[in-house]
Amino acid sequence: MRIDSHKHIAADSDIHHGEPCITGTRIPVSMIVGSVADGMTFDEILDAYPQLKKESIQAALAYAADIVR
């Protein structure tokens, strides 16, 4: 079952120039998607950004998939 990205992603003009970020962080969706594209595993991303959860990464990927549809 696909995660609801809207619960995990926010775009606020005062945070990271309005770029979609994981809610409660300044970590942009594009950084997460780029990290996965570069071959990083979920565990590697979670180690690099301990404020994230597995659901955050899934939400970023779901958000990206929705955008390209």
How many structural domains are present in the chain? Answer: 1
Residues 2-28 have pLDDT tens digits of 788 888 999 999 888 989 999 999 999
Range of the domain at 31: 5-68
Give the predicted TM-score (pTM) of the model: 0.90
- ∠ Cα 55 34 66 (to 5°): 60
CATH code for the domain of 53: 1.10.10.10
pLDDT at 1 over 80: no
Residues 20-49 have pLDDT tens digits of 999 999 999 999 999 999 999 999 999 999
- β-partners of residue 21 are 10, 28
